[in-house]
A and B are shown apart, each in its own frame.
Chain A
Protein backbone atom coordinates (compact mmCIF):
# COMPACT_ATOMS: atom_id res chain seq x y z
CA UNK A 1 0.00 0.00 0.00
CA UNK A 2 2.62 2.58 -1.00
CA UNK A 3 1.69 6.21 -0.85
CA UNK A 4 1.27 7.46 -4.39
CA UNK A 5 4.12 9.53 -5.67
CA UNK A 6 3.29 13.18 -5.92
CA UNK A 7 0.52 12.87 -3.36
CA UNK A 8 2.43 15.10 -0.99
CA UNK A 9 1.95 17.95 -3.38
CA UNK A 10 -1.75 18.10 -2.56
CA UNK A 11 -2.59 20.44 0.25
CA UNK A 12 -5.03 19.57 3.01
CA UNK A 13 -8.14 21.67 3.49
CA UNK A 14 -9.30 21.66 7.09
CA UNK A 15 -13.03 21.63 7.72
CA UNK A 16 -13.08 22.99 11.25
CA UNK A 17 -15.91 23.58 13.71
CA UNK A 18 -16.60 27.09 14.96
CA UNK A 19 -13.99 28.26 17.43
CA UNK A 20 -11.45 25.58 16.46
CA UNK A 21 -8.09 26.73 15.08
CA UNK A 22 -6.15 24.64 12.57
CA UNK A 23 -4.18 22.01 14.50
CA UNK A 24 -0.41 22.15 14.65
CA UNK A 25 1.12 19.88 12.03
CA UNK A 26 4.78 18.82 12.17
CA UNK A 27 6.86 20.29 9.37
CA UNK A 28 8.12 16.83 8.44
CA UNK A 29 4.67 15.29 8.13
CA UNK A 30 2.49 17.68 6.19
CA UNK A 31 -1.14 16.72 5.75
CA UNK A 32 -2.22 15.36 2.38
CA UNK A 33 -5.49 13.70 1.32
CA UNK A 34 -3.59 10.60 0.18
CA UNK A 35 -1.81 10.21 3.51
CA UNK A 36 -5.06 10.64 5.43
CA UNK A 37 -6.78 8.05 3.25
CA UNK A 38 -3.97 5.54 3.79
CA UNK A 39 -4.03 6.32 7.52
CA UNK A 40 -7.75 5.66 7.71
CA UNK A 41 -7.34 2.25 6.05
CA UNK A 42 -4.46 1.38 8.31
CA UNK A 43 -6.41 2.41 11.39
CA UNK A 44 -8.81 -0.48 10.75
CA UNK A 45 -6.17 -2.85 9.37
CA UNK A 46 -5.56 -5.89 11.57
CA UNK A 47 -2.26 -6.58 9.83
CA UNK A 48 -0.87 -4.03 12.27
CA UNK A 49 -0.98 -6.69 15.02
CA UNK A 50 1.24 -9.67 15.59
CA UNK A 51 -1.52 -12.25 15.07
CA UNK A 52 -3.76 -10.32 12.70
CA UNK A 53 -6.50 -9.95 15.31
CA UNK A 54 -6.10 -6.34 16.40
CA UNK A 55 -6.18 -2.95 14.78
CA UNK A 56 -6.13 0.55 16.25
CA UNK A 57 -9.93 0.46 16.12
CA UNK A 58 -9.98 -2.57 18.42
CA UNK A 59 -9.38 -0.18 21.31
CA UNK A 60 -10.35 3.10 19.65
CA UNK A 61 -13.81 2.16 18.40
CA UNK A 62 -15.46 4.97 16.36
CA UNK A 63 -18.83 3.77 17.67
CA UNK A 64 -17.69 4.60 21.20
CA UNK A 65 -16.13 7.96 20.41
CA UNK A 66 -12.87 6.08 19.70
CA UNK A 67 -12.68 4.42 23.10
CA UNK A 68 -13.32 0.77 24.06
CA UNK A 69 -15.81 0.85 26.92
CA UNK A 70 -13.35 -1.01 29.16
CA UNK A 71 -11.84 0.12 32.43
CA UNK A 72 -8.37 -0.44 31.03
CA UNK A 73 -7.23 -1.41 27.57
CA UNK A 74 -6.56 -5.04 26.70
CA UNK A 75 -3.58 -5.77 24.45
CA UNK A 76 -3.40 -8.23 21.57
CA UNK A 77 -2.30 -11.08 23.88
CA UNK A 78 -5.06 -10.41 26.39
CA UNK A 79 -2.85 -8.56 28.88
CA UNK A 80 -4.37 -5.65 30.72
CA UNK A 81 -2.98 -2.19 30.16
CA UNK A 82 -2.65 -0.01 33.28
CA UNK A 83 -4.63 2.85 31.78
CA UNK A 84 -8.03 3.69 30.39
CA UNK A 85 -8.22 4.19 26.63
CA UNK A 86 -8.63 7.90 25.83
CA UNK A 87 -10.83 9.20 23.02
CA UNK A 88 -9.13 10.20 19.80
CA UNK A 89 -11.71 12.83 18.91
CA UNK A 90 -9.95 16.20 18.79
CA UNK A 91 -6.70 14.49 19.84
CA UNK A 92 -5.05 16.77 17.28
CA UNK A 93 -5.24 19.51 19.90
CA UNK A 94 -3.83 17.54 22.81
CA UNK A 95 -0.84 19.09 24.53
CA UNK A 96 0.56 15.60 24.85
CA UNK A 97 -0.64 12.02 24.46
CA UNK A 98 -1.22 9.29 26.96
CA UNK A 99 -1.83 10.26 30.56
CA UNK A 100 1.59 11.12 31.92
CA UNK A 101 3.55 14.36 31.92
CA UNK A 102 6.45 12.79 30.04
CA UNK A 103 4.20 11.33 27.36
CA UNK A 104 4.86 11.88 23.64
CA UNK A 105 4.14 15.40 22.39
CA UNK A 106 3.23 14.61 18.80
CA UNK A 107 0.76 12.21 17.27
CA UNK A 108 3.62 10.77 15.23
CA UNK A 109 5.60 9.83 18.34
CA UNK A 110 2.47 8.59 20.08
CA UNK A 111 1.66 6.18 17.26
CA UNK A 112 4.89 4.28 17.79
CA UNK A 113 3.74 3.43 21.33
CA UNK A 114 0.95 0.94 20.55
CA UNK A 115 3.00 -0.48 17.70
CA UNK A 116 5.91 -1.38 19.94
CA UNK A 117 4.84 -1.27 23.58
CA UNK A 118 5.60 -4.56 25.31
CA UNK A 119 4.19 -3.75 28.75
CA UNK A 120 1.69 -4.93 27.83
CA UNK A 121 1.98 -5.95 24.20
CA UNK A 122 -0.57 -3.69 22.56
CA UNK A 123 -0.34 -4.53 18.85
CA UNK A 124 3.03 -6.24 18.47
CA UNK A 125 3.50 -4.62 15.08
CA UNK A 126 5.03 -7.17 12.73
CA UNK A 127 5.63 -4.77 9.82
CA UNK A 128 3.66 -4.55 6.60
CA UNK A 129 5.22 -5.50 3.29
CA UNK A 130 5.77 -2.57 1.00
CA UNK A 131 5.18 0.08 3.65
CA UNK A 132 7.91 1.54 5.79
CA UNK A 133 7.15 2.04 9.45
CA UNK A 134 7.59 5.78 9.08
CA UNK A 135 4.90 5.77 6.39
CA UNK A 136 2.59 3.79 8.69
CA UNK A 137 3.17 6.19 11.57
CA UNK A 138 2.86 9.34 9.48
CA UNK A 139 -0.31 8.12 7.78
CA UNK A 140 -1.97 7.06 11.02
CA UNK A 141 -1.05 10.36 12.68
CA UNK A 142 -2.42 12.28 9.70
CA UNK A 143 -5.71 10.37 9.85
CA UNK A 144 -6.12 10.77 13.61
CA UNK A 145 -5.37 14.48 13.21
CA UNK A 146 -8.52 14.73 11.08
CA UNK A 147 -10.82 13.32 13.81
CA UNK A 148 -12.05 16.76 14.72
CA UNK A 149 -15.63 17.15 15.76
CA UNK A 150 -17.72 19.70 17.63
CA UNK A 151 -21.37 19.47 16.66
CA UNK A 152 -22.76 18.70 20.08
CA UNK A 153 -25.91 20.33 21.53
CA UNK A 154 -23.52 22.57 23.51
CA UNK A 155 -21.93 23.77 20.27
CA UNK A 156 -25.28 24.26 18.58
CA UNK A 157 -26.51 26.33 21.50
CA UNK A 158 -23.38 28.39 22.15
CA UNK A 159 -22.09 28.88 18.61
CA UNK A 160 -25.29 28.72 16.58
CA UNK A 161 -27.85 30.09 19.03
CA UNK A 162 -30.04 26.98 18.76
CA UNK A 163 -32.22 27.48 21.82
CA UNK A 164 -33.71 24.00 21.58
CA UNK A 165 -30.36 22.24 21.52
CA UNK A 166 -29.65 22.42 25.24
CA UNK A 167 -32.29 21.85 27.92
CA UNK A 168 -32.72 24.34 30.75
CA UNK A 169 -31.22 21.76 33.09
CA UNK A 170 -28.15 21.41 30.89
CA UNK A 171 -27.81 25.21 30.76
CA UNK A 172 -27.91 25.30 34.55
CA UNK A 173 -25.24 22.64 34.51
CA UNK A 174 -23.11 24.74 32.15
CA UNK A 175 -23.34 27.66 34.54
CA UNK A 176 -22.43 25.44 37.47
CA UNK A 177 -19.58 23.84 35.55
CA UNK A 178 -18.11 27.26 34.81
CA UNK A 179 -18.61 28.60 38.32
CA UNK A 180 -15.76 29.08 40.80
CA UNK A 181 -17.77 26.99 43.23
CA UNK A 182 -17.21 23.73 41.33
CA UNK A 183 -13.94 24.84 39.73
CA UNK A 184 -14.43 22.29 36.92
CA UNK A 185 -13.36 24.72 34.23
CA UNK A 186 -10.16 25.59 36.05
CA UNK A 187 -8.77 22.40 34.51
CA UNK A 188 -11.28 21.45 31.81
CA UNK A 189 -11.07 24.65 29.82
CA UNK A 190 -10.49 25.81 26.28
CA UNK A 191 -12.48 24.76 23.23
CA UNK A 192 -11.76 21.08 23.81
CA UNK A 193 -12.55 21.36 27.53
CA UNK A 194 -9.24 19.76 28.32
CA UNK A 195 -6.88 22.66 28.72
CA UNK A 196 -3.11 22.77 28.94
CA UNK A 197 -3.12 21.88 32.61
CA UNK A 198 -2.45 18.82 34.67
CA UNK A 199 -4.78 17.38 37.23
CA UNK A 200 -2.94 17.12 40.51
CA UNK A 201 -3.73 13.84 42.16
CA UNK A 202 -4.02 13.03 45.82
CA UNK A 203 -0.72 12.89 47.76
CA UNK A 204 -0.68 9.09 47.89
CA UNK A 205 -1.01 8.74 44.11
CA UNK A 206 1.26 6.32 42.30
CA UNK A 207 4.78 7.77 41.98
CA UNK A 208 4.55 8.08 38.20
CA UNK A 209 1.66 10.50 38.70
CA UNK A 210 3.40 12.83 41.10
CA UNK A 211 3.69 15.40 38.32
CA UNK A 212 -0.04 15.09 37.73
CA UNK A 213 -1.83 13.69 34.73
CA UNK A 214 -2.99 15.27 31.51
CA UNK A 215 -6.47 16.70 31.85
CA UNK A 216 -8.66 14.72 29.44
CA UNK A 217 -11.22 16.36 27.21
CA UNK A 218 -14.81 16.33 28.41
CA UNK A 219 -16.21 16.43 24.91
CA UNK A 220 -18.13 13.17 24.33
CA UNK A 221 -17.55 12.22 27.94
CA UNK A 222 -21.06 10.76 28.27
CA UNK A 223 -20.18 8.02 25.76
CA UNK A 224 -16.67 7.22 26.96
CA UNK A 225 -17.31 5.40 30.25
CA UNK A 226 -15.68 4.16 32.38
CA UNK A 227 -13.75 7.13 33.73
CA UNK A 228 -10.50 8.36 35.24
CA UNK A 229 -7.00 7.35 34.14
CA UNK A 230 -7.51 3.83 35.44
CA UNK A 231 -11.16 3.43 34.52
CA UNK A 232 -11.97 3.08 38.19
CA UNK A 233 -15.28 4.96 38.12
CA UNK A 234 -18.00 3.34 36.08
CA UNK A 235 -20.50 6.13 35.52
CA UNK A 236 -20.67 9.90 35.12
CA UNK A 237 -22.98 10.04 38.12
CA UNK A 238 -20.31 8.37 40.24
CA UNK A 239 -17.67 10.79 38.93
CA UNK A 240 -19.80 13.75 40.00
CA UNK A 241 -20.30 12.09 43.40
CA UNK A 242 -16.55 11.59 43.67
CA UNK A 243 -15.87 15.29 43.14
CA UNK A 244 -18.85 16.26 45.28
CA UNK A 245 -17.35 14.35 48.20
CA UNK A 246 -14.10 16.22 47.86
CA UNK A 247 -12.40 14.42 44.96
CA UNK A 248 -9.20 16.32 44.60
CA UNK A 249 -10.08 19.10 47.05
CA UNK A 250 -12.96 20.50 49.05
CA UNK A 251 -16.45 18.95 49.04
CA UNK A 252 -18.83 20.75 46.70
CA UNK A 253 -22.07 20.12 48.59
CA UNK A 254 -24.09 19.74 45.42
CA UNK A 255 -27.84 19.30 45.64
CA UNK A 256 -29.54 16.47 43.79
CA UNK A 257 -30.74 18.97 41.18
CA UNK A 258 -27.22 20.33 40.73
CA UNK A 259 -25.96 16.77 40.25
CA UNK A 260 -28.56 16.29 37.57
CA UNK A 261 -27.72 19.62 35.99
CA UNK A 262 -24.02 18.75 35.70
CA UNK A 263 -24.86 15.36 34.21
CA UNK A 264 -27.20 17.03 31.73
CA UNK A 265 -24.50 19.52 30.77
CA UNK A 266 -21.88 16.80 30.29
CA UNK A 267 -24.41 14.92 28.17
CA UNK A 268 -24.78 17.98 25.97
CA UNK A 269 -21.12 17.62 24.96
CA UNK A 270 -21.82 14.53 22.86
CA UNK A 271 -21.19 14.89 19.13
CA UNK A 272 -23.05 13.07 16.42
CA UNK A 273 -21.40 9.67 16.03
CA UNK A 274 -18.65 9.16 13.49
CA UNK A 275 -19.76 6.99 10.62
CA UNK A 276 -18.55 3.45 11.02
CA UNK A 277 -17.93 1.18 8.12
CA UNK A 278 -17.83 -2.37 9.43
CA UNK A 279 -16.41 -3.64 6.16
CA UNK A 280 -13.10 -1.99 6.88
Chain B
Protein backbone atom coordinates (compact mmCIF):
# COMPACT_ATOMS: atom_id res chain seq x y z
CA UNK B 1 0.00 0.00 0.00
CA UNK B 2 2.75 2.38 0.95
CA UNK B 3 4.74 1.49 -2.12
CA UNK B 4 1.68 2.31 -4.15
CA UNK B 5 1.32 5.61 -2.38
CA UNK B 6 4.95 6.46 -2.94
CA UNK B 7 4.56 5.53 -6.58
CA UNK B 8 1.46 7.65 -6.95
CA UNK B 9 3.03 10.61 -5.23
CA UNK B 10 6.23 10.23 -7.24
CA UNK B 11 4.29 9.94 -10.47
CA UNK B 12 2.22 12.96 -9.54
CA UNK B 13 5.35 14.90 -8.83
CA UNK B 14 7.14 13.76 -11.97
CA UNK B 15 4.07 14.35 -14.10
CA UNK B 16 3.76 17.87 -12.87
CA UNK B 17 7.44 18.66 -13.07
CA UNK B 18 7.88 17.40 -16.60
CA UNK B 19 4.40 18.02 -17.93
CA UNK B 20 3.23 21.04 -19.80
CA UNK B 21 2.20 24.00 -17.68
CA UNK B 22 3.86 22.58 -14.63
CA UNK B 23 5.51 25.67 -13.29
CA UNK B 24 8.53 25.33 -15.57
CA UNK B 25 9.76 27.85 -18.06
CA UNK B 26 12.08 27.40 -21.00
CA UNK B 27 14.53 30.19 -21.52
CA UNK B 28 17.91 30.61 -23.20
CA UNK B 29 19.61 28.94 -20.24
CA UNK B 30 17.44 25.81 -20.51
CA UNK B 31 14.68 24.58 -18.25
CA UNK B 32 14.13 26.22 -14.94
CA UNK B 33 11.80 25.11 -12.20
CA UNK B 34 9.85 28.21 -11.30
CA UNK B 35 7.29 26.96 -8.80
CA UNK B 36 5.91 23.81 -7.27
CA UNK B 37 2.47 23.49 -5.78
CA UNK B 38 2.05 22.90 -2.03
CA UNK B 39 0.73 19.42 -2.85
CA UNK B 40 3.90 18.62 -4.79
CA UNK B 41 6.09 19.93 -2.00
CA UNK B 42 4.10 17.94 0.54
CA UNK B 43 4.49 14.78 -1.53
CA UNK B 44 8.21 15.36 -1.85
CA UNK B 45 8.67 15.84 1.90
CA UNK B 46 6.48 12.85 2.63
CA UNK B 47 8.57 10.66 0.34
CA UNK B 48 11.73 11.92 2.04
CA UNK B 49 10.23 10.87 5.35
CA UNK B 50 9.52 7.40 4.02
CA UNK B 51 13.15 7.07 2.94
CA UNK B 52 14.27 7.91 6.48
CA UNK B 53 11.72 5.47 7.86
CA UNK B 54 13.08 2.72 5.64
CA UNK B 55 16.64 3.41 6.81
CA UNK B 56 15.50 3.54 10.43
CA UNK B 57 13.78 0.17 10.19
CA UNK B 58 16.88 -1.28 8.58
CA UNK B 59 19.04 0.01 11.46
CA UNK B 60 16.52 -1.42 13.93
CA UNK B 61 16.90 -4.83 12.32
CA UNK B 62 20.68 -4.59 12.45
CA UNK B 63 20.52 -3.57 16.10
CA UNK B 64 18.29 -6.53 16.86
CA UNK B 65 20.57 -8.99 15.12
CA UNK B 66 23.84 -7.66 16.55
CA UNK B 67 25.63 -9.74 19.14
CA UNK B 68 27.62 -6.91 20.66
CA UNK B 69 26.00 -4.40 22.98
CA UNK B 70 28.11 -1.64 21.47
CA UNK B 71 26.79 -2.37 17.97
CA UNK B 72 23.25 -2.61 19.23
CA UNK B 73 23.57 0.82 20.82
CA UNK B 74 25.17 2.25 17.70
CA UNK B 75 22.46 0.99 15.35
CA UNK B 76 19.70 1.91 17.77
CA UNK B 77 21.01 5.47 17.83
CA UNK B 78 21.16 5.56 14.03
CA UNK B 79 17.61 4.28 13.85
CA UNK B 80 16.51 6.97 16.27
CA UNK B 81 18.27 9.66 14.24
CA UNK B 82 16.52 8.49 11.10
CA UNK B 83 13.12 8.48 12.81
CA UNK B 84 13.77 12.01 14.05
CA UNK B 85 14.63 13.13 10.54
CA UNK B 86 11.47 11.39 9.32
CA UNK B 87 9.34 13.35 11.79
CA UNK B 88 10.82 16.58 10.44
CA UNK B 89 9.94 15.54 6.89
CA UNK B 90 6.39 14.57 7.80
CA UNK B 91 5.86 17.79 9.74
CA UNK B 92 7.12 19.69 6.71
CA UNK B 93 4.72 17.73 4.48
CA UNK B 94 1.82 18.57 6.79
CA UNK B 95 2.91 22.20 6.76
CA UNK B 96 2.45 22.21 3.01
CA UNK B 97 -0.77 20.18 3.07
CA UNK B 98 -2.60 20.00 6.37
CA UNK B 99 -5.07 17.43 4.96
CA UNK B 100 -2.33 14.90 4.19
CA UNK B 101 -3.52 12.15 6.50
CA UNK B 102 -0.88 9.73 5.20
CA UNK B 103 1.86 12.01 6.53
CA UNK B 104 0.04 12.34 9.87
CA UNK B 105 -0.17 8.55 10.08
CA UNK B 106 3.55 8.17 9.39
CA UNK B 107 4.31 10.95 11.84
CA UNK B 108 2.42 8.93 14.45
CA UNK B 109 4.50 5.88 13.60
CA UNK B 110 7.79 7.78 13.87
CA UNK B 111 6.75 9.33 17.20
CA UNK B 112 5.83 5.89 18.51
CA UNK B 113 9.19 4.54 17.51
CA UNK B 114 10.77 7.44 19.37
CA UNK B 115 8.76 6.52 22.46
CA UNK B 116 6.54 9.61 22.30
CA UNK B 117 3.16 7.90 22.58
CA UNK B 118 1.24 11.04 23.39
CA UNK B 119 2.20 12.78 20.18
CA UNK B 120 1.96 9.50 18.32
CA UNK B 121 -1.68 8.98 19.22
CA UNK B 122 -2.44 12.63 18.62
CA UNK B 123 -1.06 12.30 15.08
CA UNK B 124 -3.07 9.13 14.41
CA UNK B 125 -6.20 10.80 15.76
CA UNK B 126 -5.70 13.72 13.39
CA UNK B 127 -5.17 11.35 10.45
CA UNK B 128 -8.36 9.51 11.34
CA UNK B 129 -10.34 12.70 11.76
CA UNK B 130 -9.56 13.46 8.13
CA UNK B 131 -9.95 9.90 6.85
CA UNK B 132 -11.84 7.81 9.43
CA UNK B 133 -11.57 4.56 7.47
CA UNK B 134 -7.82 4.78 6.86
CA UNK B 135 -6.99 1.27 8.00
CA UNK B 136 -3.18 1.71 8.33
CA UNK B 137 -3.72 4.49 10.88
CA UNK B 138 -6.22 2.40 12.81
CA UNK B 139 -3.69 -0.43 12.88
CA UNK B 140 -0.73 1.77 13.84
CA UNK B 141 -2.73 3.51 16.57
CA UNK B 142 -3.76 0.13 17.94
CA UNK B 143 -0.09 -0.84 18.21
CA UNK B 144 0.49 2.35 20.18
CA UNK B 145 -2.41 1.43 22.49
CA UNK B 146 -0.89 -2.01 22.84
CA UNK B 147 2.44 -0.58 23.91
CA UNK B 148 0.62 1.58 26.44
CA UNK B 149 -1.25 -1.48 27.75
CA UNK B 150 -4.59 0.00 26.70
CA UNK B 151 -5.89 -3.36 25.60
CA UNK B 152 -9.56 -2.46 25.28
CA UNK B 153 -8.70 0.27 22.76
CA UNK B 154 -6.51 -2.20 20.89
CA UNK B 155 -9.29 -4.79 20.83
CA UNK B 156 -11.81 -2.24 19.58
CA UNK B 157 -9.39 -1.30 16.80
CA UNK B 158 -9.09 -4.95 15.81
CA UNK B 159 -12.86 -5.28 15.52
CA UNK B 160 -13.03 -2.13 13.42
CA UNK B 161 -10.31 -3.44 11.13
CA UNK B 162 -12.04 -6.80 10.96
CA UNK B 163 -15.08 -5.08 9.54
CA UNK B 164 -13.33 -2.87 7.02
CA UNK B 165 -9.97 -4.43 6.16
CA UNK B 166 -9.30 -7.98 7.23
CA UNK B 167 -5.72 -7.91 5.92
CA UNK B 168 -4.90 -5.05 8.31
CA UNK B 169 -6.73 -6.92 11.08
CA UNK B 170 -4.32 -9.78 10.41
CA UNK B 171 -1.36 -7.42 10.76
CA UNK B 172 -2.68 -6.23 14.11
CA UNK B 173 -3.24 -9.81 15.20
CA UNK B 174 0.47 -10.44 14.60
CA UNK B 175 1.25 -7.48 16.85
CA UNK B 176 -1.04 -8.98 19.50
CA UNK B 177 0.88 -12.25 19.27
CA UNK B 178 4.19 -10.41 19.62
CA UNK B 179 2.86 -8.51 22.64
CA UNK B 180 1.65 -11.71 24.28
CA UNK B 181 5.07 -13.27 23.75
CA UNK B 182 6.51 -10.80 26.24
CA UNK B 183 3.49 -9.87 28.36
CA UNK B 184 1.03 -11.84 30.42
CA UNK B 185 -2.68 -11.20 30.39
CA UNK B 186 -4.85 -14.29 30.47
CA UNK B 187 -8.05 -12.47 29.57
CA UNK B 188 -6.48 -10.78 26.56
CA UNK B 189 -4.78 -14.01 25.58
CA UNK B 190 -8.13 -15.85 25.59
CA UNK B 191 -9.72 -13.06 23.55
CA UNK B 192 -6.92 -13.19 20.98
CA UNK B 193 -7.20 -16.98 20.72
CA UNK B 194 -10.96 -16.77 20.19
CA UNK B 195 -10.69 -14.06 17.54
CA UNK B 196 -7.98 -15.98 15.70
CA UNK B 197 -10.10 -19.11 15.68
CA UNK B 198 -13.15 -17.15 14.55
CA UNK B 199 -11.24 -15.41 11.76
CA UNK B 200 -10.00 -18.74 10.48
CA UNK B 201 -13.32 -20.52 10.97
CA UNK B 202 -15.56 -17.97 9.32
CA UNK B 203 -13.66 -17.43 6.10
CA UNK B 204 -16.33 -19.32 4.17
CA UNK B 205 -19.05 -16.98 5.36
CA UNK B 206 -17.01 -13.81 4.87
CA UNK B 207 -16.20 -14.27 1.22
CA UNK B 208 -17.90 -12.32 -1.51
CA UNK B 209 -19.04 -14.93 -4.03
CA UNK B 210 -18.98 -14.47 -7.78
CA UNK B 211 -22.38 -13.79 -9.23
CA UNK B 212 -22.58 -16.81 -11.47
CA UNK B 213 -23.97 -20.28 -11.21
Contact = CB atoms under 8 A, between A and B. Distances in A.
Contacts of A175: 201
B159 A161 contact: yes
Contacts of B210: 196
A198 to B, nearest CB: 6
A17 to B, nearest CB: 9
Contacts, number: 57
Most-contacted residue by chain A among B159, B163, B205 (CB, 10 A): B205
Interface stretch (A41-49, A59-67, A184-192, A246-254): A184-192
Contacts of B198: 158
A185 to B, nearest CB: 4
Interface string B170-206: 0000000000000000000000000100100110111
Interface residues of B, number: 20
Interface stretch (A18-26, A115-123, A141-149): A18-26
Contact of B204 (A24, A159, A189): A189
Nearest to A190: B209
Interface residues of A, number: 24
A101 B212 CA distance: 10
Nearest to A186: B204
B52 interface: no
A95 interface: yes
Most-contacted residue by chain B among A18, A19, A21, A178 (CB, 10 A): A19
B201 A191 contact: no
B207 interface: yes
Contact of B205 (A21, A95, A96, A178): A178
A24 B211 CA distance: 9
Interface of A: 18-19, 21, 24, 95-96, 101, 158-161, 174-175, 178, 185, 189-191, 193, 195-198, 214
Interface of B: 155, 158-159, 162-164, 195, 198, 201-202, 204-213
